[in-house]
Amino acid sequence: MTPRRAPHYRAHEFAAISTPRLLLRAMTSGDVDDVHAYMSNPDVCRFLLHEPRSRETVALKIEEWSTMGRLAVPGDDLQLAMEFTTDDPEAGRVIGHTYFKLTSVDDVTAEIGWTLHPGFEGKGYATEAAAAMLAYAFTTLGLNRVYAELDPRNIASVALCGRLGMREEAHFREHMWLKGEWSDTGIHAILRSEWSARQSG
Ligand SMILES: CC(C)(COP(=O)(O)OP(=O)(O)OC[C@H]1O[C@@H](n2cnc3c(N)ncnc32)[C@H](O)[C@@H]1OP(=O)(O)O)[C@@H](O)C(=O)NCCC(=O)NCCS
């Protein structure tokens, strides 16, 4: 029988990725205050699966996230600090983070997500980080599909998917009971073939 596993996936150890204005890297204990500054904000967490986080919870999460790096088996994930690197007094600050999870090795698929400090919205930083992660997914990792799951009311996130060339693939109605109400879930995705066409177009 033909093996179902796609032949080209190789386990990978994430290092870091530089973009024009950001460094995407593993979190460290020194990032707790920067990350707490936005993860404690109810507006930021409005469409996230969790409530605003205390400094103690952020510190525990970062302790866990700082050891992530290997993308080998389904479920392996990264929570990467978006460190601001421009020539600015804020250089070195973590202004958000990018989530990336290998969801299937057989189908070479990953999930992507993003969170920014509200003070840094509207300048393209999330697009810059996510575009770099898509390039990493399709070139370095050789994946075939990357998707995002979001609440369709989260128009900033839906718009970000659009800027990245991700198509809406599904809209599940009352998919989750979350924060005291039924929430819909939207799936947006991009294939390697679609991503490649955008690079050459
Ligand atoms: C979702 C989220 C990351 C989007 O942030 P964002 O700032 O809108 O996205 P970007 O950083 O890519 O910035 C895009 C905006 O900057 C503008 N922009 C300026 N320079 C730009 C550039 N070089 N490249 C792209 N966009 C640029 C765009 O026009 C756009 O502005 P608009 O919203 O007025 O159209 C942010 O709203 C957030 O963190 N929300 C809370 C957490 C959350 O809900 N996460 C998603 C869960 S699914």
What is the CB < 6 Å shell around ligand 1? 44, 47-48, 113-116, 121-127, 150, 154, 156-157, 159-160
Q: pLDDT digit string (tens) for 28-62?
A: 999 999 999 999 999 999 999 999 999 999 999 99
Measured at the CA of 152, the angle between CA 146 and CA 156, to 5 degrees, comes to: 80
Q: How far is the CA of 123 from the centre of ligand 1 (A)?
A: 7
Ligand 1 atom showing the smallest separation from residue 151 Cα: 48
In a domain, 158, yes or no: no
| H helix count then E strand count, the chain | 6, 10
In a domain, 99, yes or no: yes
In a domain, 81, yes or no: yes
Q: How far is the CA of 124 from the centre of ligand 1 (A)?
A: 6
Asked if residue 116 has pLDDT above 80, the reply is yes
Handedness of CA 17, 19, 23, 26 (dihedral sign): negative
Ligand 1 atom showing the smallest separation from residue 121 Cα: 7
Structural domain span for residue 118: 12-143
Residue nearest to atom 4 of ligand 1 (CA): 156
Residue nearest to atom 33 of ligand 1 (CA): 122
Residue of 87, 95, 101 lying closest to 126 (CA atoms)? 95
Q: How far is the CA of 171 from the centre of ligand 1 (A)?
A: 21
> How is residue 119 written in tokens?
């003070």
Residue 138, helix vs strand vs coil:
helix
CATH (domain of 104): 3.40.630.30
Ligand 1 atom showing the smallest separation from residue 47 Cα: 44
Q: pLDDT digit string (tens) for 54-85?
A: 999 999 999 999 999 999 999 999 999 999 99
Asked if residue 9 has pLDDT above 90, the reply is no
In a domain, 76, yes or no: yes
pLDDT band at 7 (very low <50, low <70, confident <90, very high): low
Pocket-testing residue among 160, 178, 185, 187, ligand 1, by greatest number of atoms within 8 A of Cβ: 160
- Whole-number pLDDT of residue 6: 62
In a domain, 132, yes or no: yes
| Residue 123 CB partners (closer than 8 Å, separation 6+) | none
Q: pLDDT digit string (tens) for 166-178?
A: 999 999 999 999 9
Residue 178, helix vs strand vs coil:
strand
Section 77-95 average pLDDT: 93
In a domain, 200, yes or no: no
In a domain, 193, yes or no: no
Q: Report pTM.
A: 0.96
The structural domain count of the chain equals 1
Distance from the first to the final alpha carbon of the chain: 39
Number of Cβ within a 10 Å radius of residue 29: 9
Q: How far is the CA of 201 from the centre of ligand 1 (A)?
A: 23
Residue nearest to atom 29 of ligand 1 (CA): 122
Q: Average pLDDT over the chain, rounded to whole?
A: 95
Section 100-128 average pLDDT: 97
Report the percent of the chain where pLDDT is more than 90. 92
Q: pLDDT digit string (tens) for 177-188?
A: 999 999 999 999
In a domain, 34, yes or no: yes
